[in-house]
Amino acid sequence: MRALLPFILALAAFQVHGQQPGHSAAKPTGTLADTVLIDPLLDSAKTWASSGEFTDLVLATTDSAMHLLDAVHAGPEAPAVLRRRLKAYKVRGMFHHFAGHYDQALDQFIHMERVAAKLGLKQEQANALTYQGYEYRNINDNAHARDVGLRALGILREMPASSSLGTTLAGLGGIYFNLGQLDSSLAMHRQAAAVYKQVGNAPYEASELVSIAEIHNSRGRYDSALHELTLARPVLMEESNPVELAVFLNHEATALFALGRLAEARHDLEAMQPLVRESENDEHSNRMLGMLALTAAAEGHYKQAVQLQDSARSALIKNLDLAKVQEITELRLKAEQERERLKADARLAEERTHSRNRLIGGVLVLCIAILLGWLLFTTRRKNAKILRAQEQVVEAEKQRETEQVRTRLARDIHDDIGSGLTKIALLGNEAKRRMQESSEELSATLDRIITHSREVSASLSDIVWTVNPEHDNSAELVSHAQNLARRMLDHSAVAHEFHFRHEEPLFDVAPGTKHHIVMVMKEAINNALKYAEAKHISVELEAGAQHFSLQVKDDGKGFDPVAMAATGNGLRNMRARAEAIGATLAMESEPGLGCTVRMEGPLT
């Protein structure tokens, strides 16, 4: 009954102005009575936006409230009026958020922040910034989401600890995770968990422990991940919704599987199945089926593993909605081509206008003016044709480069992932054969299956990183290269050190350029690990001022560069990659004195 009260008040407010809900904004009387109507209108809009009902009335009621505020308070606005505007912007932002209109929601929350700043309401200002962060994340603008999140955090740290502070810290943790800055992500999630514990919000604290466990899993620290999940388990099992519980079980199964506790991992994954079906979440379905496939393979159920892997791939394709992505890309390209066409038409129209104006002259110079105008017009038309031809050549070159990238990606997928899956299949057959022999040999084979599975997953991540346009800049190049080097060397027995740095401002980097740089580094590290018998490896990468330099150095047994150049496919591949991006590659080595590989070139 209480939920209907704002509706009744708003209905009465509309009837006072001689209209029905959902019609145009109320006509103000210009009297003090108008202010009495504003609060019921805003309360009604808030109720409808929160419940998800009467969505067609939310904008109408807030519009009416704003219209009344503008009419009654034409001069400088008092705090009471600003508070009502603050409420209206917040309600409208909520409505657009739940409707999926993220750009419009962002605009309302920006207005909300400005009004809150005028009123000196720090809590509301921080809330508005946090809401803006949600909308930036929804449109995949993590950089702006981070900036507004840090502004909100600066305000909230000056206030007593609250759930709002925890929410802002948790949001920043997710943003840093998306940006690949795992140390910062871990720090934010730990702080969020501490704040939720301080204010007594156990469910939110448990969710943060799960986020911390996810970071540990991504770094291969499975014991640490399992410790965090064990702390979160009692609360999540008692109070979580299906989605949160499915996420928890997925991370716990991942850690248990990596630690060799297959039966417990399978138990978690089977408990996860009804939750995934209930939530109808394709991403969770893909993760669950993928883990079940790995578990089945590790247990020797290879046929079942293949079937589960096919199901996981289907869920992944459905979640990515590749056809929709392609359709959006084509629409964007068509829109760009249309804009270019309109610009060309505008230039041509302008040229024709100038030509006609030049034809206007005195009678005495009419013939000369006509001749000059005709010559000018002809020349410019030829230039326009030349310009269009040049644009077509540039467009053809872009298409050719795109095809080359696609061909290279197809080759990488075939070489890296295809060979990895072949190794897994062969090792599976070997595991099946050794099931009749010693358990130690079987365990070693299963470890190799797990290792190759992780390598396949890493190769797929590298390929996705190459084609993602959000990563086409110098900072992402350096961050990804550092993560790849750490992934190759952290679990080796070789001592190593890294020096990765990029200079501001960021520069755009073509997908082909960043791919060749990373692959040269990977080849150099792989050669040092496999052949050099090195005790120490150092990797350096600097990117800035549209230029990069890469160096991989080891103290291994070295080799004769002249003799190796005639037989080494890896060295030829590195030189070919350097030439493809206009870079120079130098290799210094002598027997017994280690090897240094240097590559320098432009970032294009």
> 308-343 pLDDT, tens per residue?
777 767 766 665 554 444 444 443 444 445 445 555
Phi, psi (degrees; rounded to nearest 5) at 559: -170, 175
- Largest Cα separation within the chain, whole Å, is 109
pLDDT > 90 fraction of the chain, expressed in percent and rounded: 29
Distance of alpha carbon 354 from its chain centroid, rounded?
49
Higher pLDDT, 264 or 415: 264
Higher pLDDT, 75 or 108: 108
- Residue 470, pLDDT above cutoff 90: no
Both tokens of 359, joined, read 């034809």
Continuous H helices in 120-162: 122-138, 142-156
Higher pLDDT, 97 or 446: 97
Amino acid 73: pLDDT:
55
3-state SS string for 258-295: HCCCHHHHHHHHHHHHHHHHHHCCHHHHHHHHHHHHHH
CA distance 7 to 41: 8
Amino acid 401: pLDDT:
60
48 and 58 Cβ atoms separated by less than 8 Å: yes
Amino acid 93: pLDDT:
85
Using pLDDT thresholds of 50, 70 and 90, give the confidence band for residue 160: very high
Q: Looking at residues 364-376, what average pLDDT do you find?
A: 81
Higher pLDDT, 189 or 9: 189
- Residue 38, pLDDT above cutoff 70: no
131 and 89 Cβ atoms separated by less than 8 Å: no
Report pLDDT digits (tens) over 541-583: 999 878 999 999 999 998 887 777 666 677 888 899 999 999 9
Whether CATH 3.40.50.740 fits 468-604: no
CA-nearest of 12, 90, 102 to 58 is: 90
Amino acid 21: pLDDT:
42
Amino acid 165: pLDDT:
92
Q: How would you class 528 by CB atoms within 10 Å of its CB: exposed for 0-12, middle for 13-18, buried for 19 or more?
A: buried
484 and 500 Cβ atoms separated by less than 8 Å: no
Per-domain residue ranges of the chain:
1-75, 468-604
Using pLDDT thresholds of 50, 70 and 90, give the confidence band for residue 45: low
Q: What is the mean pLDDT of the chain?
A: 78
Using pLDDT thresholds of 50, 70 and 90, give the confidence band for residue 411: low
Q: Looking at residues 161-176, what average pLDDT do you find?
A: 92
State the DSSP H helix or E strand holding residue 547, giving kind and residue range, or none if neither.
strand 547-554
Higher pLDDT, 425 or 585: 585
Q: Looking at residues 409-432, what average pLDDT do you find?
A: 61
Amino acid 320: pLDDT:
53
Distance of alpha carbon 280 from its chain centroid, rounded?
22
* Exposure string for 13-44, b = 16+ CB within 10 A, e = fewer: bbeebebebeeebbebeeeeebbebbbbbbbb
- Residue 110, pLDDT above cutoff 50: yes
Amino acid 333: pLDDT:
45
Amino acid 586: pLDDT:
92
- Residue 451, pLDDT above cutoff 50: yes
Amino acid 10: pLDDT:
46
Query: Amino acid identity of 115?
Result: V
Report pLDDT digits (tens) over 588-601: 998 888 999 999 99
Amino acid 549: pLDDT:
94
Query: What is the model's pTM?
Result: 0.48
- Residue 394, pLDDT above cutoff 70: no
CA-nearest of 230, 224, 225, 221 to 213 is: 225
Using pLDDT thresholds of 50, 70 and 90, give the confidence band for residue 388: confident
Task: Write the DSSP symbol of residue 581.
Answer: T
Region of poorest pLDDT, from 238-247, 307-316, 407-416, 494-503: 407-416
Higher pLDDT, 254 or 296: 254
Q: Looking at residues 204-229, what average pLDDT do you find?
A: 93
Among 201-215, 272-286, 368-382, top mean pLDDT goes to 201-215
Amino acid 148: pLDDT:
93
pLDDT > 70 fraction of the chain, expressed in percent and rounded: 68
Give residue for tokens 């096919």: 310
Q: How many CB atoms lie within 10 A of CB 333?
A: 10
Region of poorest pLDDT, from 213-227, 235-249, 406-420, 438-452: 406-420
Among 103-117, 283-297, 371-385, top mean pLDDT goes to 103-117
Amino acid 149: pLDDT:
92
Cis peptide before 505 (omega within 30 of 0): yes
Region of poorest pLDDT, from 79-83, 445-449, 542-546: 445-449
Amino acid 338: pLDDT:
47
Amino acid 344: pLDDT:
61
Q: Looking at residues 161-171, what average pLDDT do you find?
A: 91
CA distance 435 to 430: 9
Using pLDDT thresholds of 50, 70 and 90, give the confidence band for residue 15: very low
Q: Looking at residues 481-502, what average pLDDT do you find?
A: 91
Q: Looking at residues 508-537, what average pLDDT do you find?
A: 90
CA distance 198 to 585: 56
Using pLDDT thresholds of 50, 70 and 90, give the confidence band for residue 510: confident
Q: How many CB atoms lie within 10 A of CB 254?
A: 25
Q: Looking at residues 292-311, what average pLDDT do you find?
A: 78
Report pLDDT digits (tens) over 220-266: 999 999 999 999 999 888 866 788 888 888 899 899 989 989 889 88
Amino acid 498: pLDDT:
95
